[in-house]
């Protein structure tokens, strides 16, 4: 149940809070006072897209908060989405000029899709635009399906899953069914690529080893020249200026004097160690120079090999492992193309199996729907009768599609005859706004009872009706309000008189701005508002007495 709605800086609303009650909550007010803006704000906080245009002029952001009392069903649903809460949940939406709109549950962000999954079970909003949705035949099946029992809904889900699989396989079959010319052309290309990669006999170490070896042989002359120069500096320069000769001289001189100071022993030993280390370096470089020779044939081989590897990398991947990964992929594609006839045959068999399953399940689903339709026809006759449409004949028409679909094989359309002797016609041919309002109200009463939606909102559902019909519609809404919280915007005194809680929406204009306010009416204030609804601008003693009488009569109806 919606307990509280708080709106701040939204359209012409500066700030207001409405404390709703159980039963029938009625909102009335002058045209343009902001009644529909309140419903629009509620639609947004429940998961609608936030529009920056709705931020009050001169403000940076708007805030809408809705507080609900929850039963266990909604607590479990929130828990499934990771939102743990008690008996109360606060849903908020902030619309900012600077940032994207943000929805929250108990101050935790939530996506619009997840929020809508929850709120669609908590609140059902019916506005005047829904007349058009009822006239669209595509929505008739959706209404029937909403009344299916769990086994029927489970079957519908199964059909949709099977149809998704059928579409995926059909797309795959289309990809397989290429022309013989395209097939042979692709086979030639794949075969060339496979052979090119296989003939290269690549190894994982080729990535670095070939390149490193090529660099060595390509620069071997410079390498040998440098190693020779270093060895010459270390030892081979026989004029006495090589490093080893100089170190030997230093060792000899230090040996002469260290006997006078033992602290030089360590320095002496370090010089000896350096001398042996340099000698080792010399031998290693000498061995390297003696073992290496310029090999033009090896260099040519490495250059060709490196060019081949780089060429394959440009075509098939950045590394040898990437190249072989690509090789595996095209190998699988090659095998499929070689055996494509078998693959096509296998896919066709699967498609036939799935199609047959969808046909069978659709036939069973159709029977489920027809049972629902029979029940709906009876309930609609009863509902419409209570709404002063006694001679109306309502029928659910079934036709069969030629092809399978995600919703089965049925084409469902609501037909109606509003006068005795008239043929059944599509709802789209009903032109009376009053009739459409009552038909929609009948649907809402049935659907709400079936899905246990706690809160129903009617935005001027009384469009196009008056007099006795308005009284009947009001009594119908009142009966619905016994099992559901109902929030209704109305301009008819017959309906307003039946409210459990009556709110007046007023617009206050000054030179600087216009704001909307809400007032919860006392019994005496309700008489004044009913008198206004009855008499228009001029409220007289007579209209007040009439309003008082309406309230007294309504209290007897409610009891």
Q: pLDDT value at position 238? A: 65
Q: Are residues 225 and 80 in the same domain?
A: no
- Sorted by sequence, the CB contacts under 8 Å of residue 450 that are 6+ apart come out as 146, 147
Q: Would 423 be classed as within a structural domain?
A: no
DSSP letter string, 308-337: HHHHHHHHH-SSHHHHHHHHHHHHHHHHHH
Q: Based on the fold, state whether residues 75 and 214 are members of the same structural domain.
A: no
Write the CB contacts of 312 (distance below 8 Å, at least 6 apart in sequence): 196, 197, 200, 202, 323
pLDDT tens digits, one per residue of 291-340: 777 777 777 877 788 888 888 888 988 888 888 899 999 998 898 888 88
Q: DSSP state, 53? A: G
Residue 153 lies in a domain: no
State how far the alpha carbon of 503 is from the alpha carbons of 38, 145, 519, in Å: 12, 36, 5
pLDDT value, residue 239: 67
Chain mean position to CA 330: 35
- Say whether both 211 and 324 belong to one domain: yes
pLDDT at position 511 is 61
* Structure token digits, residue 551: 């309230």
Whether the per-residue pLDDT at 65 is higher than 60: the answer is: yes
Co-location of 196 and 301 in the same domain = yes
In a domain, 114, yes or no: yes
pLDDT at residue number 62: 93
**DSSP codes, 113-142:** HHHHHHHHHHEEEE-TTHHHHHHSTHHHHH
Residue 401 lies in a domain: no
Q: Is the pLDDT of residue 392 over 80?
A: yes
Would you state the pLDDT for residue 70?
A: 81
Residue 291 has a pLDDT of 73
Q: Please check the confidence at residue 431 and state whether its pLDDT lies above 60.
A: no
Helix (H) or strand (E) holding 501: strand 501-509
Does residue 494 belong to any structural domain of this protein?
yes
- On whether both 217 and 334 belong to a single domain, the answer is yes
Listing DSSP states for 186-223 in one string gives: HHHHHHHHHHHHHHTT--TTHHHHHHHHHHHHHTHHHH
CA distance linking residue 97 with residue 60, whole number of Å: 6
Among the candidates 317, 338, 359, a domain finishes at: 338
pLDDT band at 227 (very low <50, low <70, confident <90, very high): confident
Confidence bin at 240 (pLDDT 50/70/90): low
What is the reported pLDDT for 512? Answer: 66
Task: Provide the Cα torsion 261, 262, 266, 271; round to 10°.
Answer: 50
pLDDT (0 to 100) of residue 102: 92
Domains in the chain, number: 3
In the predicted structure, residue 349 carries a pLDDT above the cut 80: yes
Both 208 and 306 in one domain: the answer is yes
What is the average per-residue pLDDT within 242-254?
87
* pLDDT-based confidence at residue 200 (cuts at 50, 70, 90): confident
Whole-angstrom distance, CA of residue 473 vs CA of residue 55: 35
Pair (475, 549) in one structural domain: no
pLDDT single digits (tens) 26-62: 998 887 777 888 888 998 998 888 788 899 888 899 9
Three-state DSSP state, 287 = helix
Q: Are residues 499 and 532 in the same domain?
A: no
Taking residues 266-287, report their average pLDDT.
90
Q: Is the pLDDT of residue 130 over 60?
A: no
In percent, the amount of the chain with pLDDT more than 70 equals: 93
Q: What is the mean pLDDT of the chain?
A: 85
Whether the predicted pLDDT of 129 surpasses 60: no
**Considering just the CA atoms, what is the radius of gyration of the chain in Å?**
43
262 and 310 share one domain: yes
- The answer on pLDDT for 180 being more than 80 is no
Cα 392 from Cα 279, distance rounded (Å) = 116
Of 95-104, 323-332, 532-541, the poorest mean pLDDT is in: 532-541
Give pLDDT, residue 127: 63
553 domain residue, yes or no: yes
> Rounded to 5, what percent of the chain is helix, strand, coil?
60, 15, 25
Q: Are residues 62 and 110 in the same domain?
A: yes
Confidence of residue 356 (pLDDT cuts 50, 70, 90): very high
Q: Residue 210: phi, psi to the nearest 5?
A: -65, -45
- Inside any domain, residue 353: no
Q: How far apart are CA 497 and CA 471, in angstroms?
A: 10
The length of the chain is 559
Do residues 193 and 84 both lie within one domain? Answer: no
Of 3-12, 155-164, 231-240, which range is least confident?
231-240
Determine the pLDDT at residue 433: 64
The DSSP code for 56 is P
Q: What pLDDT sits at residue 537?
A: 65
Confidence of residue 415 (pLDDT cuts 50, 70, 90): very high
The answer to whether residues 461 and 552 belong to one domain is no
Question: Where is the domain boundary, 303, 338, 373?
Answer: 338
Looking at residue 78, its pLDDT comes to 75
| Mean pLDDT calculated for residue range 70-84 | 74
Answer whether residue 147 is part of any domain.
Answer: no
Q: What is the pLDDT of residue 131?
A: 55
Report the share of the chain in percent with pLDDT over 90: 27
What is the mean predicted confidence (pLDDT) over 78-90? 78
**Domain of residue 224, residue span:** 184-338
Query: Given phi > 0 = left and psi -120 to 50 = alpha, else beta, which region is 407?
Result: alpha
Check residue 217 and give its pLDDT: 72
- Give the CATH number, domain containing residue 59: 3.40.50.300
CB 1 within 8 A of CB 456: no
**Which of 338, 369, 390 corresponds to the end of one domain?**
338
């Amino acid at each position: 149940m919606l307990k509280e709605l708080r709106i701040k800086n939204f359209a012409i609303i500066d700030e207001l809070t409405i404390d709703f009650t159980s039963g029938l909550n009625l909102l009335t007010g002058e045209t343009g006072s902001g009644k529909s803006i309140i419903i629009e704000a509620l639609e947004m906080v429940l998961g609608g897209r936030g529009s920056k245009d709705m931020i009050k002029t001169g403000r940076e952001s708007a805030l809408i908060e809705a507080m609900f009392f929850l039963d266990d069903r909604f607590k479990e649903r929130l828990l499934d989405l990771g939102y743990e809460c008690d008996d109360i949940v606060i849903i908020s939406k902030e619309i900012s000029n600077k940032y994207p709109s943000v929805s929250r549950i108990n101050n935790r962000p939530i996506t619009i899709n997840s929020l809508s999954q929850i709120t669609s079970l908590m609140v059902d909003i019916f506005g005047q635009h829904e007349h058009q949705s009822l006239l669209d035949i595509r929505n008739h099946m959706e209404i029937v399906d909403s009344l299916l029992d769990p086994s029927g809904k489970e079957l519908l889900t199964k059909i949709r899953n099977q149809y998704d699989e059928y579409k995926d396989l059909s797309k795959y079959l289309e990809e397989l069914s290429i022309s013989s010319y395209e097939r042979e052309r692709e086979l030639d290309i794949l075969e060339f690529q496979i052979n090119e990669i296989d003939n290269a006999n690549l190894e994982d170490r080729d990535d670095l080893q070939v390149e490193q070896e090529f660099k060595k042989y390509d620069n071997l002359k410079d390498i040998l020249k440098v190693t020779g120069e270093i060895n010459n500096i270390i030892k081979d320069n026989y004029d006495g200026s090589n490093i080893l000769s100089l170190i030997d001289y230093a060792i000899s001189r230090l040996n002469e004097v260290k006997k006078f100071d033992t602290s030089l022993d360590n320095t002496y030993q370090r010089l000896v160690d350096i001398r042996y280390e340099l000698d080792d370096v010399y031998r290693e470089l000498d061995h390297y120079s003696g073992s290496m020779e310029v090999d033009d044939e090896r260099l040519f081989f490495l250059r060709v090999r490196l060019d081949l590897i780089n060429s394959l990398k440009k075509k098939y991947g950045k590394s040898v492992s990437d190249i072989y990964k690509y090789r595996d992929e095209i190998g699988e594609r090659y095998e499929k193309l070689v055996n494509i006839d078998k693959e096509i045959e296998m896919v066709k068999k699967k498609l036939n199996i799935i199609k047959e399953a969808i046909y069978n399940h659709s036939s069973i689903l159709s029977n489920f729907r027809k049972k629902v339709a029979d029940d709906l026809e009876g309930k609609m006759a009863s509902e419409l009768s209570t709404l002063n449409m006694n001679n109306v004949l309502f029928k659910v028409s079934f036709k069969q599609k030629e092809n399978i679909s995600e919703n089965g094989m049925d084409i469902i359309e609501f037909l109606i005859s509003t006068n005795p002797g008239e043929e059944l016609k599509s709802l789209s041919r009903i032109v009376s706004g009053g009739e459409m309002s009552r038909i929609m109200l009948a649907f809402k009463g049935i659907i709400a009872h079936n899905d246990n939606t706690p809160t129903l909102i009617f935005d001027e559902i009384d469009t196009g009706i008056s007099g006795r019909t308005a009284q009947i519609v009001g009594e119908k809404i009142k009966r619905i309000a016994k099992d559901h919280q109902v929030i209704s915007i109305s301009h008819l005194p017959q309906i307003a008189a039946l409210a459990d809680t009556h709110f007046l929406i007023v617009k206050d204009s000054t030179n600087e701005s216009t704001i909307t306010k809400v007032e919860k009416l006392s019994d005496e204030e309700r008489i004044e508002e009913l008198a206004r609804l009855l008499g228009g601008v001029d409220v007289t003693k007579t209209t007040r007495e009439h309003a008082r009488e309406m309230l007294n009569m309504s209290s007897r109806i409610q009891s």
